[in-house]
């Protein structure tokens, strides 16, 4: 199958499973010439509509620590960045952020941080249980990187509902170009399967336009996502950080990110798909464009304003100066401007 319109129709019919990585790679090549993004976005919205309607789910993001033992080459808080001012939030501060978020209407809290050894299971489990017991109608999502099966199990038993762990690339050679030799592609993928086995709703994802990415490699990502069928999928543009080895690489584009959001919506109709802050960073209406392309999640920041600038994964990250309430109001207006409706429930995946 190699005609572009034929592939779009196959995706729309739900026949994306029949596409080979070669089909997808040539399709992505053809799409570069332009002219297909509108129809892809329209098809993606049509597929999203009967499942989620125009509902857009908000997740309150609490960035608990910018300390990380790893040295991913694309990341502004990598261990080697000596100019990063480090912080970590203690248990009471995290709970306060969640309480404030609850008052503002959030029903999912995402605790995200680098791989910081301070947050052992003995530290994390009470935090998770406190949030769950104060707010039993809320979901707790973790995004704390690679941990052992036992650690994932303990945090799940403490009440964690979801786990985000971007796979970054489904191509082992590409993985090795983005990460230090101490990190392994096999372990990253194994973590995703372990999390699923333990009953988490699981999110994977990758950056669009990362260094050394090709359409062939993106085709591998799309096949992986189609076959793994995550509950959530974080796909945003690569944005360089000036203190990393990738400082001089160009950012990913809004067009390609939105195109891929549409394709992922067609491949996995039920997936919860964020319009990321990185997309809003490279274009003033990036998040709105993401919603129009098929996304249905936004993740405003609930971290204390004093530390937001320090959680700088990439340059010029937006929404680092605003209060949580301002973030939420601003996003609500943005979502409404493209016909979406912000909803305040847990927003579980509908599979
Ligand atoms: S991407 Fe994650 S694991 Fe890698 S250096 Fe950054 S915070 Fe650490």
Read off the pLDDT of residues 25-52 as tens digits, 9 standing for 90 and up: 999 999 999 899 999 999 999 999 999 9
Indicate if ligand 1 lies below 6 Å from the C-beta of 76: no
Nearest protein CA to atom 3 of ligand 1, as residue = 70
d(CA 326, CA 316): 19
Going by pLDDT thresholds of 50, 70 and 90, the confidence category of residue 2 is: low
Q: What does pTM read for this prediction?
A: 0.98
Of 73, 82, 88, 115, which is best to mutate to test ligand 1, by the most ligand atoms within 8 angstroms of its C-beta?
115
Q: Are 141 and 347 in contact (CB under 8 A)?
A: no
What is the per-residue pLDDT for 218? 98
Q: Are 345 and 107 in contact (CB under 8 A)?
A: yes
Q: How far is the CA of 75 from the centre of ligand 1 (A)?
A: 6
Give the sign of the dihedral formed by CA 344, CA 345, CA 348, CA 351: negative
Q: How far is the CA of 260 from the centre of ligand 1 (A)?
A: 23
Comparing 30-34, 203-207, 242-246, 271-275, which segment has the lowest mean pLDDT?
A: 30-34
> Rg of the chain's alpha carbons, rounded to an integer?
19
Indicate if ligand 1 lies below 6 Å from the C-beta of 61: no
Indicate if ligand 1 lies below 6 Å from the C-beta of 145: yes
Going by pLDDT thresholds of 50, 70 and 90, the confidence category of residue 322 is: confident
Res 325 pLDDT > 90: no
In percent, the amount of the chain with pLDDT more than 70 equals: 99
- In this prediction, residues 119-124 reach a mean pLDDT of 98
- In this prediction, residues 220-232 reach a mean pLDDT of 98
User: Which candidate, 155, 133, 95, places its Cα nearest to that of 302?
Assistant: 95
What is the per-residue pLDDT for 147? 98
Going by pLDDT thresholds of 50, 70 and 90, the confidence category of residue 1 is: low
What is the per-residue pLDDT for 211? 98
Nearest protein CA to atom 6 of ligand 1, as residue = 75
d(CA 108, CA 152): 19
Assigned CATH topology for domain 4-343: TIM Barrel (3.20.20)
Indicate if ligand 1 lies below 6 Å from the C-beta of 72: yes
Indicate if ligand 1 lies below 6 Å from the C-beta of 191: no
Indicate if ligand 1 lies below 6 Å from the C-beta of 4: no
Going by pLDDT thresholds of 50, 70 and 90, the confidence category of residue 105 is: very high
Query: What is the CB neighbour count within 10 angstroms for residue 144?
Result: 22
Of 63, 68, 88, 178, which is best to mutate to test ligand 1, by the most ligand atoms within 8 angstroms of its C-beta?
68
């Amino acid at each position: 199958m190699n005609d572009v319109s034929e592939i779009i129709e196959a995706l729309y019919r739900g026949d994306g499973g029949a596409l080979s990585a070669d089909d997808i790679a040539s399709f992505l090549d053809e799409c570069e010439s332009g002219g297909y993004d509108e129809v892809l976005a329209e098809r993606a919205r049509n597929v999203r509509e009967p499942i989620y309607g125009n509902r857009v789910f908000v997740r309150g993001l609490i960035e608990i620590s910018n300390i990380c033992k790893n040295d991913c080459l694309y990341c502004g808080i990598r261990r080697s960045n000596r100019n990063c001012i480090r912080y970590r939030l203690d248990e009471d501060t995290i709970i306060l952020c969640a309480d404030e978020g609850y008052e503002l209407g959030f029903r999912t809290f995402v605790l995200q941080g680098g791989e910081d050894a301070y947050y052992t299971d003995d530290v994390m489990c009470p935090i998770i249980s406190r949030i769950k017991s104060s707010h039993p109608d809320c979901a707790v999502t973790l995004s704390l990187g690679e941990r052992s099966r036992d650690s994932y199990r303990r945090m799940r038993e403490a009440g964690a509902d979801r786990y985000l762990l971007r796979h970054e690339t489904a191509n082992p050679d590409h993985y090795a170009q983005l990460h230090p030799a101490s990190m392994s592609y096999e372990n990253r993928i194994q973590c995703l399967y372990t999390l699923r086995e333990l009953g988490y709703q699981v999110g994977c994802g990758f950056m669009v336009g990362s260094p050394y990415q090709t359409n062939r490699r993106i085709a591998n990502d799309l096949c992986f996502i189609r076959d793994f069928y995550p509950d959530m999928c974080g796909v945003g543009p690569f944005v360089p950080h000036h203190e990393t080895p990738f400082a001089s690489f160009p950012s990913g584009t809004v067009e390609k990110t939105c195109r891929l959001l549409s394709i992922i919506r067609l491949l996995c109709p039920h997936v919860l798909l964020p319009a990321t802050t990185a997309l809003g960073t490279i274009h003033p209406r990036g998040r709105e464009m993401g919603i129009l392309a098929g996304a249905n999640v936004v993740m405003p920041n609930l971290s204390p304003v004093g530390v937001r600038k320090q959680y700088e994964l990439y340059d010029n990250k937006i929404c680092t100066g605003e209060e949580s309430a301002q973030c939420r109001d601003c996003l609500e207006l943005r979502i409404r401007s493209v016909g979406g409706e912000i909803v305040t429930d847990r927003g579980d995946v509908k599979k």
